[in-house]
Structure formats: C-alpha cells, structure tokens
Amino acid sequence: MINGEIAAAFNRIADLMEISGESGFRVNSYRRAARTIKAYPEDLSVVAGEGRLTDLDGVGKSSAEKINEYIQSGTIGALADLEPGSLPDLLRIQGLGPKKIAVLHDELSVASIEDLKSAIDEGSVASLAGFGAQSVKKIAEGIAFLEKSGGRTAMGIAWPVAESMAEMLRGLPNVTQVEIAGSLRRGAETIGDVDLLCVCDESEPVMSAFTGQGDVKRVLAQGSTKSSVTVEIDNGRELQVDLRVVPAESFGAALQYFTGSKEHNVRVRELAVRRKLKLNEYGLFDGDKQVAGETEAGIYEALDLPCYAPEMREDRGELDLDASPPLIELADIRGDLHMHTTASDGKCSIEEMAEAAKERGYNYIVITDHSKSSAVANGLSIERMKRHISDIRAADDRTKGIRILVGCECDILMDGSLDYPDDILADCDIVVASIHSGMTGAKAKPTDRLLKAIDNRYVSIVGHTTGRLINRRPAMEIDMAKVIQAAADSHTAMEINASWQRLDLKDLHARQAIDAGVMLAIDTDAHHTSQLDQMMFGIRTARRAWATKEHVLNTRTTASLLKWIAKKRG
C-alpha cells in the first residue's frame, strides 16, 4: 500500500514546520493525519478514487489535496518547498532543538549530521551566538552517542535495564515512589531512552546512587532534580537513562506527562484548556489552585476522562471512549501455544519446558518444533515427527499438573503448500504455520502463500506473519488487510509472537485483526525455559492493540481451546 509513503511525507512536513517555527497546531495536525494514514487498513489510492479521504480522522480538505497530489505525482509540493536536506535528523541529537537547528542552517548551511560534524571540526559552530564551547562539546557528545546507540533500542533490551535501575532506587531509604515512564511504559517496541521518576525526601543521595551504579558507562548530567547517564547494552552501544525527582503532590501529573505520548498529551491539554484549566507536569490548575496532580487517575477524573492504560495513550481514538476497556493482563494467560525443544533447535526437553510453564501457573503448553524444510533449525523429517508426536504424548502422560499438547511449526513453502502432509497435521492438536524463507520480492507472492496456508483446515495459527526482526530485518511486503480477512473468514488465529526481536503481529496489525474479528494467540516462540518470560512483551503489544482476554485464544481453558481449534477442522 502507498499509505506508509504518504504518512512518512506528512511526518516530514511536520518536522520541517517545527524547525521553521510554525505553530504547534499546524505541526500537530500533520502528525495526527500521518498516524491516521499509517494505521488505515485500506490502500489510500482506492479511498481517494472513491472520494472518501475526508472521512478519515484528521484528514481535511487540504490534507486530502496533498494525498491526491502524492498519488498522482509521487511528490507533495509543500514538502519540496520546505525541504532543506536532512535537517530533521539533527533533532535526534541531544542538546539541539528546532531553533538552534534553524540557526545552524541559516548561518552555516548545515543540512545534515555530516555537515554539522564538519562545522564543529572547523570551529564555525562555537562562534555562533547562543552556542559557545560548552554547548558545542555537548552537541559533539550527542552526535557520538547517536552514532554509538544506533538510534532506537528494542523494548526487550531496554526493559531489564529500566527495571534494574528502578529496583535499586526503590531500595534506597528515603525514596517513597519510583515508576518507569516514557515510551517504555507505553509498551513501544523500540525506545529512544529510558525515563524514570521518583519521589524522595532528599535528592542528593538518590542522584549520587543513580549516577554511581556499576552499570553506568557515562554521566551526562547530574543535578538536584534531573540526572542522565548511559549504560552499555550490546556491541559498544549505549542507552541513555534519565532520572527525575518530583514532589509527591505532582507525581501523578509528572508520570502522565512523561509517559506521553506527545500526541495524547496535546489532546488532553486541549480538553483542559476548554475547561479553562492548565495542565502541565506539575499538576492540573485552576488559576493558581492545584486541582489534581498527586495521581494520574486524579488528573483524568478531574477532566471527566477514564484513566487510560499507558499502552493506549497514542491518540488513536482512546479519547473518544466513555470507558477504558479491561485490557489483557499477564495473569489472564493459561498457556503458551508456540515453543521449541531439543527435538529441533530448542535447548530444553519437553519435560523441562512443561515444568517451567507449570511454575508460571500455566494449564497447558503446545510443543511446536520445526518441520523438515527448516534445515538450519534441525527441522523434523516425517519419520522423526511421528516419533516426536509419540514422545510428546508420553511426556503428557508422565507429567502431572499441566497438559502437554502436540503441535508443530510447519513451514509455508514457496508455492503456499505446507511442509507436512495433512495426515501428520491431523495428528497434531495445534498447527502453527509460518514463513521462514523466500521473504523478499513482490507483495503478491508472500500474500498468496499465506492465503493458501490459511485455507488449510489444519492450520490453527499463523505464526509471526510478517517475518520481521526488529532493527535487523524488515517485514515482508504483504497485503495485511487481505490476510486478516482470510483469517477471519476461515476461523484461523493470528499470532503476536512475544519474542522481543519479533513482536509480530505488531500493535497496529493486531488492532486490525481484532477489528476484523480474528482471534489472537500470544506466544513466546521460546527455545529455552527462560524465554517463557518474554510473554510480557507480547502482552504489552496486545494491550497497545486494545486487546482484552476475550480476544486472545490462550486465555481459554484447555477444553475451550481445543473446542475452538476443532471448529475449523470439523
């Protein structure tokens, strides 16, 4: 679909407007339209041809004209007029805001990070008004950090760092509250940096403990209310962690503000203004009187809004709801439907996986080792698979307190056929069908492969549908709307693969699936007992899709699960 290209163009217009000093209202209108366009399930070329563009939330007459212009010519004149090179990239550098970027561009013709590095080396930046040696040093450090950090960090890497630091802070004697904020709290698949908030009686010892931790690589700043450090994460990359100390009476307001998203907060502040109130990170105020701020719930309640779950705060329609839905929780999960053992490329036995799942309170698991074409993953030949089915049944008989079901992760081959014949699939309780090869090429090919596989009566779940690996491999080009509709029509579930490298389906696709009536399965694809803990990342992705327990297959009892699977087979 052309939607992604148009959304990127609108976001770039917003970036360039912000740099050039345009009003926040105009900037945010473009960003809102971009979010709508990116998430819209239909191809905008079709929508435009039918004259329905202005039916989209946030798309008015002017935006519709720009969309039509892009569809017809591949460009938007307004963007070309604003475009001064790679200036938006400079916004990623710590210490550089739109105004300073404008000065660099106007005075030194800086249009990219490379231009800025050259200007710093030549000494030109230090001579500009409003800069100076210390400022230039911080900008240079920001460039070095950006290059070393590689931009954004996967949630699965950032979460342990954040939780470890939060736990250290909670253990300090004068600290009364600590929370993780930012995009990490919202469950975003990748983050820029980690935000921590705390309430304490005395900030100096807290900041000293924070900056003095053994894992800290560099101290970027240390103050009484905010400190910033970096932590080495992998291959020399560094992740920035910011700690803010806030007063107890403002903690809820600060948590709401720093959790974001920016777009959600803009909308909430607009609602406050309509009531002649002022909302910021210190609280909700009527004149000089604080109306709310100690808790997040108090902020939303004072504005007659539900206290939205952090994962919902993306300005994707949540502010139109009368109540916040009861989103799925980790405790709702009764089993894991996708995992591997030593029979293929896993590191643990059937019984070890079962015992680990039982420790996590699960009622059942499904063993889904790889089929024969996944040679690199030690995929099972037909004869090995027959023996493996017997081994799983025997392990189920021996193991008490949890049901071990027979499954397989069956490759979808290049022509859309499945790697095992139907008689093998029929002997499995659950079949996860996945694409593992031939992921590049025209959109039609992987789409047709998925559609053919979904049509098979024994395919219970489509595994990691797009095949992406976050920050490593892009998603396959597929017609997601068509695949989702086929899953809905055929009573086939679609997986949110909870492995933090995948998170596939991603949140927007999972939301599309829910809207189409498709059942989701949140699975870890675990290859070791420790990886069963990655279920939390899948849960957070599902919550970003507004999933409740009723939308997720593995919140059901064993009997209900098998009855649901049997409906397609029957």
pLDDT surpassing 70 at residue 497: yes
Residue 98 backbone phi and psi in degrees, to 5: -55, -40
| Residue 453 pLDDT greater than 90, yes or no | yes
Give whole-number Cα distances, 525 to 450, 502, 503, in Å: 19, 10, 11
Task: Tell whether omega for the bond before 124 is within 30 degrees of 0, i.e. cis.
Answer: no
Residues 350, 355, 358, 359, Cα dihedral to 10°: -140
> In sequence order, what are the beta bridge partners of 526?
339
CA–CA separation, 335 and 428 (whole Å): 17
**C-beta of residue 206 within 8 angstroms of C-beta of residue 169:** yes
Give 506-536 pLDDT, tens digit per residue.
999 999 999 999 999 999 999 999 999 999 9
What per-residue confidence (pLDDT) applies to 235? 63
With a cut of 70, say whether residue 1 has pLDDT above it: no
Q: Which residue has the higher pLDDT, 100 or 502?
A: 502
- Greater confidence (101 vs 569) lies with 569
- pLDDT for res 84: 55
Lowest mean pLDDT among 85-99, 459-473, 539-553: 85-99
Question: What single string gives the DSSP state of each residue in 256-269?
Answer: HHHH--HHHHHHHH
Cα 159 from Cα 180, distance rounded (Å): 9
Is residue 145 scored above 70 in pLDDT? no
Q: Give the mean pLDDT of 459-483.
A: 92
Residues paired with 380 in a beta bridge: 371
Query: Tokens standing for 388?
Result: 């493996």
Nearest to 181 by CA among 165, 203, 202, 168: 165
Task: State the pLDDT at residue 142.
Answer: 79
Average pLDDT, rounded, for the chain: 92
**Residue 350 CA to chain centroid, in angstroms?**
31
Q: What pLDDT, on a 0 to 100 scale, did the predictor assign at position 553?
A: 98
For residues 150-173, give the mean pLDDT. Answer: 93
**For residue 447, which phi and psi values (nearest 5 degrees)?**
-60, -50
Separation of alpha carbons 419 and 381, rounded Å: 10
Strands (E) located in 400-466:
403-411, 430-434, 461-462
Range with the lowest mean pLDDT among 35-39, 98-102, 346-350, 380-384? 98-102
Q: Which residue has the higher pLDDT, 116 or 395?
A: 395
**pLDDT(237) > 70:** yes
pLDDT at 85: 57
Kindly state the helix (H) or strand (E) to which residue 208 belongs, with its residue range: helix 203-211
Task: Write down all domains in the chain, each with its CATH number in brackets.
Answer: 3-82 (1.10.150.110), 87-149 (1.10.150.20), 153-245 (3.30.460.10), 250-320 (3.30.210.10), 330-569 (3.20.20.140)
Q: What mean pLDDT comes out for the span 35-58? A: 87
Tell whether the model's pLDDT for residue 96 goes beyond 70. Answer: yes
